[in-house]
Amino acid sequence: MDYIQQAYKGLHDIWRYIIGVFIIFFAWQLIGMIPLGIALAIKIFSDASVGMPTDIPAMSKVLGSNLFLFLMLLSFAVGLLGVFLSSKFLHKQSITSLTTARKKIDWKRFWFIFVIWGLVSSGFVLFDYFMSPEDYQLNFKLQPFLILAVIAILFIPLQTSFEEYFFRGYLMQGLGVLFKNKWVPLLMTSIGFGLMHIANPEVEKLGPVIMVYYIGTGLFLGIITLMDDGLELALGFHAANNLFTALLVTADWTALQTHSILKDLSDPSSMALAEIFVPVFVVFPVLLFVLSKKYNWTNWKDKLLGQVVEPPKEDYKILD
């Protein structure tokens, strides 16, 4: 049984997925946002000089970047809980079968790509810093950085795990069962992942072209999930990408406003080509090649474009 077929180990009626999506969004966007809303309300009503913030950078400025980051990430943690509860109680599906087609979750895969991408992404930032030091400002302050590090290490993996379990896990399997193929869920989850970021301040600053990066990243993560029959690589890559970025560099126009080591002062419009197109069309294909060699991926056409067939009943058992 491949990764999408793991859905057949649980109750996989389409109405269950529809209800599950509502439960997950309710947990993430309503319950999870309550602490952030309360904190903003207290700040606004206690300080007459503070106006209602209208975007992410403004909210970060009102609350302070560390508190805002914690409260924002907390909403994703609640969303992740919503995914797990929907899977367990609505679908009677185990977290293992939501994660991988293997008998158990392979954490070696997670840590392999986490370390590799952490080194590579950090290397890109440091290379750019040494090549163009005038574009950066040293932003390091020990106490707020240590607080940031604790928040980031504990909560960013929960944020990225929510996005992976929701898009590459819950929706990928559900859409695969619905459409009986793999290419539709791959495309739909990639586009959905990109659209989830449409309210990010980067989109306003760089324009719609940034969606190439978001959708391209979603496509890359979807490909490695289907080729590897599991979420482990996607979970590790996404966690490393967001964690190392949060700790290393920030900018006034990004969604992650942090007490990072460096602050990017450059004009973002001037780096659009490098920041958007090079990862999607150069770096990600190289990573796919490396991973395919390490994990012996074959039969790409069937893995990415093939049909989803319900396995024989004796191959799986729905838990009561």
Residue 66: inside a domain: yes
pLDDT computed for residue 49 by the predictor: 77
pLDDT computed for residue 320 by the predictor: 43
Q: Parallel, antiparallel, or unpaired for β 262-264 and 249-250?
A: parallel
Can you give the residue range of the structural domain that contains 126? 4-311
222 alpha carbon, distance to own chain's centre: 11
Q: Comparing C-alpha atoms, which of 213, 230, 232, 248 is closest to residue 303?
A: 230
Are the C-beta atoms of 153 and 118 separated by less than 8 Å? no
Residue 186: inside a domain: yes
Q: Structural domain tally of the chain?
A: 1
pLDDT computed for residue 205 by the predictor: 81
User: Average pLDDT, whole number, for the chain?
Assistant: 93
Other C-beta atoms within 10 Å of 294: how many?
Answer: 12
Residue 228: inside a domain: yes
- Residues 308-312: contacts with CB under 8 Å, at least 24 apart: 308/4, 308/5, 308/176, 308/177, 308/179, 308/180, 308/181, 308/182, 309/5, 309/180, 310/5, 310/8, 311/1, 311/5, 311/8
d(CA 169, CA 105): 13
Give 95-151 as a DSSP string: HHHHHBSSSS--HHHHHHHHHHHHHHHHHHHHHHHHH-GGGEEE---HHHHHHHHHH
Other C-beta atoms within 10 Å of 147: how many?
Answer: 18
Are the C-beta atoms of 215 and 229 separated by less than 8 Å? no
23, two tokens: 């439960």
d(CA 209, CA 213): 8
Spans of the chain, pLDDT less than 70? 269-273, 314-320
Strands (E), the chain: 136-138, 249-250, 262-264
Other C-beta atoms within 10 Å of 306: how many?
Answer: 16
For 67-103, b/e burial (b = at least 16 CB within 10 A) is bbbbbbbbbbbbbbbbbbebbeebbebeeebbbbbbe
Residue 88: inside a domain: yes
Q: What backbone phi and psi angles, to 5 degrees, belong to 304?
A: -105, -25
Question: What are the residues facing 307 on neighbouring strands?
Answer: 181
Q: Tell me: the pLDDT tens digits for 16-28? A: 999 999 999 999 9
Residue 317: inside a domain: no
d(CA 6, CA 98): 7
Residue 30: inside a domain: yes
pLDDT computed for residue 267 by the predictor: 77
With both helix axes pointing from N to C terminus, report the angle between 65-85 and 142-163 in degrees, rounded to the nearest 10: 20
SS3 content of the chain, % helix, strand, coil (to 5): 75, 5, 20
pLDDT computed for residue 84 by the predictor: 98
pLDDT computed for residue 270 by the predictor: 62
Residue 8: inside a domain: yes
Residue 301: inside a domain: yes
The amino acid at 242? N
